[in-house]
Structure 1
Amino acid sequence: MREPEGQASGQAAADQTESGQAAASQAADQAAASQAAPAIMGYRRENGDIGIRNHLLIIPTVICSNQVCSRIAQLVPGAVAVPHPHGCSQIGADKDRTFSVLAGTGANPNVGAVLIVSLGCEVVDPQQLADAIRVTGKPVEWFDIQSVGGSVKAIEHGAKLARQLQAGLMRQRQEPVPLSKLKVGVKCGGSDATSGLASNPALGAAADRLIREGGTVVIGETTEIIGAEHVLAERCPDAAVRERLYAIVGRFEREVERMGADMRGGNPSPGNIAGGLSTIEEKSLGCISKCGTSPILGVTEYAEPLPEGGLYFMDSPGNDIECVSGMAAAGAHIVCFTTGRGTPTGSAVVPVIKITGNGRTFSLMEDNMDVDVSPMLDGSLDVEAAGERIWQEIVEVADGKLTKAEILGHQEFSINRIGPSL
């Protein structure tokens, strides 16, 4: 039976209203989801990772191929090389560490393609290294200098391969990727009294914000938590993580004793002391504040791949370049680096954001510093607002903004060693 025209019209209007309400509700849900999971522009990798840079990385397997790699990188715009003094006369865990750091650096999601250059007789196997990186799905090529006939021919051959790889990277396009996939390392160096008072707590607030967004934070520097390790241990969720944290501190202390050395001769450093730090405990309490207040979900070895989501501690030296290189090899996208006295260093594959709580340092080294939180010291900027300032810088750098270290071409790289050379 046909409905009366007025009733049908009313029903249509009701259906239209209901449809409109459903559409509005769906739009609101989408907006809420978008707000809850903000996006940046990046590169989706075949293994599910996201990259915020798209580097062509030239890796020497051994010190003997450093010069060839550097010359290839000079000939191919956009390529970066990681020269290092290792890869030969190494055994056991020391050899394995060199391999794992090179493999992890090549696997870093900010790297889009890799060219490996071997000499041909070193202990680091280039084929195995290539295979370890290829599991990420990115293109990897390798050759050895001895087989192609010396340095000049190797540079020519390598540049040809590098240009082919670079052409493939140029065809890749950025797309929206979730900020929740971001992994950030937190590091301090060239510390002074303002580090523990301002820049480190502010970075801790930004670290908490990233973790709330679903991201990952890693803190390292085993040597610089000594005297405050019990404070971090209280934030471990269970006995296993807590015991692991104490174990790596004990391992380092035993090694120092075995060498008959006193770490107080180098930590705090002369620069730290000149900047107002008096003891390792004072330095350590300032150091740990840069990772915020979240639970420490796990303790990893140097350059070990990072899990996704939450806060982790990586066993690493306090040495700036070795620590940052280890974080990059573990999969960090960015390293936030606080400094009171100032340092220019960067990284070959990850942007390094320089943060200072010392207004004088920011003024004197403005070409190296990215974020100034020194107004915290006169009370005109609170820790949450300072953390928000750093957070905004993280988001902008993840979205493509270049750090000062990137602009200046700082591409420092170093591998922490374990054992003796043969």
Structure 2
Amino acid sequence: MQFAGYKRPDGRYGIRNRVLILPASVCASDTCRMISEQVKGTVTFDNQSGCAQSPMDMQITLDTVAGFAANPNIYGTIAVSLGCDDLSIDILKAAISERTNKPLETLVIQECGGTVKTVEKAVRLAREMAEAASMEKRAPADLSELILGMECGGSDPTSGIAANPVLGRVSDVLVGYGGTSILSETGEIIGGEHILASRMRDKKLVQELYDYAEHYNEQFRIVGEPLFMDNLSEGNVKGGLSTTEEKSLGCIKKGGESEIKEVLAYAQRPVKHGLVFMDTPGYDAASVAGMVAGGAQVIIFTTGLGSPVGNPIAPVIKVTGNPQTFQKMKDNMDFDASDVIKGNRTINEVAESLMRELLSVVDGKKTAAEILGFNQISMARLCNFN
């Protein structure tokens, strides 16, 4: 099976064709926003990191923003720094160049002479890059080139009964075609680690999975916080979820039944095809960002209560198994999986429809979040209490 994608110089295929205006730190974020507002076809985000971080924390930020630039949906990048950022433009340029050979330009606000002059120079560069991007044409690509990120947020009992199992079946189908699916959210596998471990042939992977789960638990022990208070949000409880374990058992349904081939650090690009697990926070925007930095061209996001979260780099497909949520949040939803709850169709039948929706989005159909312009970005930190 194939899809139509934009072939990049590094050999990977994008499903969107955007120019990234990349702020190296919070001090460059508003300047990047001003640049992006003036050039159609560009995207940016508010980077709240990039300075005054510990070395390990800074490495996470660097891996994430460099991963954004390397994502196949990005044609090229214009990176902007203030000039005295801890995440310097030279460090950022080197990290991006290690990951991809796509077009890259850099600007330093203090060297350009301030925001106004930087914007003037960057807008010219961005227009040239956006024009070049507009000349790119979609070409046939094998489905094995696709990386799907899987997320859930605002979960209720319908998530574990309908939406997540449907997504799990879609993941299995994609894996069957040689593609890659990323299961995420370390905090939301707690209590179900043994189930995921049973689907790993390599004992080293099993240990890596348990290590990430233990590290997550340890962060709470250090500050004296009970884990269950974080993993169950007020919305989860109101929606009908009762325990962390119940939530986790529903969450891992997104992974279907495939063997887990790899365990990844946050923002790490998969090396193997198939189902992989990435260590991400449960915080939706940060979890999605990690998978996008790892190369996911598209995200399927299941929600029981409804969520508006989008991403500037990868389209986010919203799926709910709750018929009331689909009606109340129709502007934010892309796919109704509630036929499973109603007993009208089986999980496999609904999954076939979701697979068609996925392929439509991959081939260019806009998601609700894209239409509304929702572009939330957050990044993981060294200590994640979510």
TM-score, normalisation: structure 1:
0.89
Match of 1:147 in 2: 111
Q: CA deviation at 1:160?
A: 1.0
Aligned to 2:83: 120
Q: Which residue of 2 aligns with 1:292?
A: 256
The gaps in structure 1 that reach 5 residues or longer are 1-37
**How many residue pairs end up in the alignment?**
383
Matches within 5 A, 1:88-103: 88-103=51-66
Q: Do the aligned partners of 2:168 and 2:254 also contact (CA within 8 Å) in 1?
A: yes
Aligned to 1:362: 326
| Corresponding residue number in structure 2 for 1:71 | 34
- Cα distance in 1, alignment partners of residues 95 and 174 from structure 2: 30
1:329 and 2:293 correspond: yes
Q: Is 1:48 the counterpart of 2:11 in the alignment? A: yes
The change in CA–CA distance for 1:223 and 1:419 in structure 2 (over 3 A counts) is closer
Shift of 1:408: 0.8
Q: Give matches, 1:248-327, under 5 Å.
A: 248-327=212-291
Distance 2:71 2:236 in 1: 32
Q: Which amino acid in structure 1 is aligned with residue 243 of structure 2?
A: T
1:379-390 correspondence runs (5 A): 379-390=343-354
Matched-pair contact (CA < 8 Å) for 2:261–2:272: no
* 2:368 counterpart of 1:404: yes
Separation in structure 1 between the aligned mates of residue 360 and residue 130 of structure 2, nearest angstrom: 25
SS in 1 for 2:60: helix
What's the counterpart of residue 72 of structure 2? 109
Instruction: Find the structure with the greater CA-based Rg.
Output: 1
In the superposition, the TM-score normalised over structure 2's length comes to 0.97
Shift of residue 419 of structure 1? 5.9
Whole-Å Cα distance in 1 between the matches of residues 366 and 207 of structure 2? 40
Q: Distance in 2 between matches of 1:71 and 1:185?
A: 30
In the TM superposition, residue 144 of structure 1 has moved relative to its aligned partner by 0.7
Residue 251 of structure 1: SS of its match in structure 2?
helix
Partner of 1:86: 49
**1:376 alignment partner in structure 2:** 340
Q: Kindly report structure 1 stretches of 4+ aligned residues shifted beyond 3 Å.
A: none
1:266 Cα deviation after fit: 2.3
Q: Which residue, out of 128, 137, 144, partners 2:101?
A: 137
The whole-number CA distance in structure 2 between the counterparts of 1:314 and 1:134 is 23
Counterparts in 2 of 1:24-35, with a 5 A limit? none
Q: Which of 229, 233, 238 is the equivalent residue of 2:193?
A: 229
Opposite residue 117 of structure 1, the aligned amino acid is V
CA contact (8 A) 1:373 1:381 kept: no
Q: Is the 8 A contact 2:75 2:133 kept in 1?
A: yes
One-letter amino acid of the structure 1 residue matched with residue 85 of structure 2: E
Q: What is the identity percentage for the equivalent residue pairs of Structure 1 and Structure 2?
A: 43
For the residues of structure 2 that align with 1:352 and 1:419, how far apart are their CA atoms?
26
Between the aligned partners of 1:116 and 1:355, the Cα distance in structure 2 is 34
Partner Cα distance (1:295, 1:179) in 2: 18
Give deviations 1:86-106, integer Å, cap 9, x for gaps: 111112110111111010010
Distance 1:293 1:344 in 2: 28
Counterpart of 1:30?
none
Unmatched tracts of structure 2, length 5 or more? none
Contact 1:223/1:318 (<8 A) preserved: yes
- Counterparts of 2:96 and 2:136 in 1: how far apart (Å)? 19
Q: SS at the partner of 1:116?
A: strand
- Asked if structure 1 preserves the Cα contact closer than 8 Å seen for 2:306 and 2:329, the reply is yes
Q: Distance in 1 between matches of 2:55 and 2:263?
A: 22
Aligned to 1:39: 2
